Structure 1
Amino acid sequence: MSSNGAPTLRQQRLGFELRKLRETAGLSSTAAAALVGVNQGHMSRIEAGRYAVSADRVRAFAHAYTCTDQNLVDALAGMTGRRIRGWWEEYRDILLPSMLDLAELEHHATAMRIASVIHIPGLLQTLDHARAIFLDTVPPLSPPEVEHRVSHRIKRQAVLYGEQATPLTATVHEAALRMGFGGPAIARAQLRHLIEASTRENVTVRVIPFGSGTFLGSGQSIVYCSGVVPQLDTVQLDTYHGSEFLDAHAQLVKYQKVLDLMEARALSASKSRDLIARIERDT
């Protein structure tokens, strides 16, 4: 059965991983289609993420491709079926598709690592801080657009709460703590919120202080979402033209190293809290 509308990032990733398994097996799409009993057009749509595929069909593909990584096969089977009607679907046709893809990526992540130099990570922002960010864009957003983006950002934070709360490690530069978006009152409330969040069992906040020198990753924010298996990890980068999602093995290894080095430059969690508290008092 066909998927409704354009494929999501998750659907595209499933198709990409199936194609990668096929290519690793040294099979053409025509030969693979014949092995599993589908036509060439059907195979192309599956690998493009434009056709909903069942878990049984994924396992049939894996068998045909002699894939012996059962954990990977199980993870891919878990990505099958029609598009999940997550809460983010209510924003479809309202917000950019990449914003919905990020919410879905975070929803399915087993752990997250975030690094940011100028901004407090979105998952740790207050409502007023987020609104101040969206009020200062090029081109300017209309009031309804601002509120849609703010509510979407706040709803994304649900992954940090509840019995299945996702572990998060956020590395933030001191510059982000001192930007003062929205004015002193909003800035102080944001810093207090960051301190409170850092006391949660699943959240670790570490600060790179001024004077730490140059370091890799200083030019961009990074979100690293761990998948059910390492092969399904994804990196999200913020750019001026929107979100960029990376999943090639070499890219994942690179950003793991960048995050390792940034975290190595940061203060411990307790010293980071102390620094945030001092900045909050001085704001």
Structure 2
Amino acid sequence: MEDTETLYAPRAGVRHPPQRHDSPPDSNGAVTAPGRRRMLHAAKARDDTRAGRTVSGRFGRLESRRRGRAGMSAATAAGRLGGNQTQISNIEAGRHGVSADRVRTLARLYSCGDQDYIDALVAMTGARTRGWWEEYRELLPVGLLDLAEVEHHATYVRVANMVPIPGLLQTAEHARVVFSAGIPQLAPYEVEHRVSHRIKRQAILHGDTPTRLTAIIHEAALHMGYGSSTVVRGQLQHLIDMGERENITIVVIPFGAGPLPGSGQSVDYLGGSVRQLDTVQLDSDHGNQLLDAEAHLVNYRSVLDRMESYALTPTASRDLIHRIAQSI
């Protein structure tokens, strides 16, 4: 497998889309010093706004639901806070961050007595920092960046895939074949940006406090010919190696297991520090979708539980992967 460190940033030497200047050049075609300063200032403002956008958006939706359950209008909430309705609207739309004190004030206002939940919300609002995924802001669809941000904050991850192999467990070579086969076809530099982004997402599985991962993989994914026999064997061996890590559990649903809930759909369940902060990610040809409504969370927990009940044990799954690898 390619060294992950070489894939941790957009690749040097790979052609990028043309860059746009926000300030007109001088007569020699160079951007003037005042123009450069304006560009840097504008870029910093954009970065400050974008940092933690998924976190702030999630917080805003949670606050909107809490206000609704409290039977309080935005105007009433704003009045009790000594502000105006626009401030409440901006918070609930994820446009503005909030302080820890404001989080606690809102909790009292909406009669929320769950201290663990309040503490988790405080931690969430303090997470508005520029993550590594922002390097890809102009290079990849925003949904991929949002997924990386949610994964970064997750305490555990459960995934279920029919095909292909889950992204968090793909080798660079396997991922490159997957992205190259997409429709519409991606340019080579677009493929490389997606590969490097995918490999960097996998950092959550390593380090001093690695995220727990349970991967439910259908046997069909193990037989798919993504790339040469060398690439396929390398991917299967990578699954075996990753399954040896204490924080990773890999189980396989064998052929003949019968009809499965959610057949054909990839599901990622990303656990928050409290259950109210869990998120579901659904992958499709039209891009990924993040869901966090309680009804969705309950439904997909049941879907994953049912799918896992059809799977072999981790030991039997490893043996099956090994037999398939030897047969290639």
Task: Name the amino acid aligned to 1:214.
Answer: P
TM-score under structure 1 length normalisation: 0.97
Runs of 4+ residues over 3 Å off in structure 1 = none
Residue 228 of structure 2 corresponds to residue 183 of structure 1: yes
Partner of 1:277: 322
For the 8 Å contact 1:6–1:50, the answer to whether it is kept is no
Deviation at 1:20, TM superposition (A): 1.1
Task: Name the amino acid aligned to 1:197.
Answer: M
Q: Secondary structure of the equivalent of 2:163?
A: coil
| Counterpart-to-counterpart distance in 2, 1:80 and 1:250 | 24
Percent identity among equivalent residues?
Answer: 55
Partner of 1:128: 173
Partner of 2:117: 72
Of 94, 110, 113, the match for 1:49:
94
Residue 327 of structure 2 corresponds to residue 254 of structure 1: no
Q: Secondary structure of the equivalent of 2:124?
A: coil
Residue 273 of structure 2 corresponds to residue 228 of structure 1: yes
| Counterpart-to-counterpart distance in 2, 1:28 and 1:93 | 37
| Counterpart-to-counterpart distance in 2, 1:171 and 1:31 | 47
For the 8 Å contact 1:33–1:39, the answer to whether it is kept is yes
Max radius of gyration: which structure?
Answer: 2
Partner of 1:109: 154
Moved more, 182-191 or 2-11: 2-11
Deviation at 1:130, TM superposition (A): 0.4
1:39-68 per-residue CA deviation (whole Å, 9 max, x = no partner) reads 111110111000111111111111111110
For the 8 Å contact 2:52–2:130, the answer to whether it is kept is no
Q: Secondary structure of the equivalent of 1:4?
A: helix
1:106-138 per-residue CA deviation (whole Å, 9 max, x = no partner) reads 110011100000110000000000001111111
Deviation at 1:8, TM superposition (A): 2.4
1:159-214 per-residue CA deviation (whole Å, 9 max, x = no partner) reads 00011100000000000000020121100000000000000000000000111111
Deviation at 1:13, TM superposition (A): 0.6
Q: Secondary structure of the equivalent of 2:159?
A: strand
Of 176, 191, 204, the match for 1:159:
204
Q: CA RMSD in A?
A: 1.5
Partner of 2:308: 263
1:55-99 per-residue CA deviation (whole Å, 9 max, x = no partner) reads 111111111111101111111111115732111110011111110
Q: How does 1:75-94 map to 2 (within 5 A)?
A: 75-81=120-126, 83-94=128-139
Of 102, 105, 116, the match for 1:60:
105
Partner of 1:19: 64
Q: Secondary structure of the equivalent of 2:185?
A: coil
Partner of 1:169: 214
For the 8 Å contact 1:181–1:187, the answer to whether it is kept is yes
For the 8 Å contact 1:21–1:65, the answer to whether it is kept is yes
| Counterpart-to-counterpart distance in 1, 2:295 and 2:88 | 27
Residue 140 of structure 2 corresponds to residue 100 of structure 1: no
Task: Name the amino acid aligned to 1:139.
Answer: P
| Counterpart-to-counterpart distance in 2, 1:215 and 1:169 | 18
Task: Give unmatched runs, 5+ long, in structure 1.
Answer: none
1:201-236 per-residue CA deviation (whole Å, 9 max, x = no partner) reads 000000001111111121200000001110111100
Residue 188 of structure 2 corresponds to residue 143 of structure 1: yes
Q: Per the alignment, do residues 87 and 140 of structure 1 end up closer, same or farther by CA in structure 2, a change over 3 Å counting?
A: same
Task: Name the amino acid aligned to 1:196.
Answer: D
For the 8 Å contact 1:52–1:82, the answer to whether it is kept is no
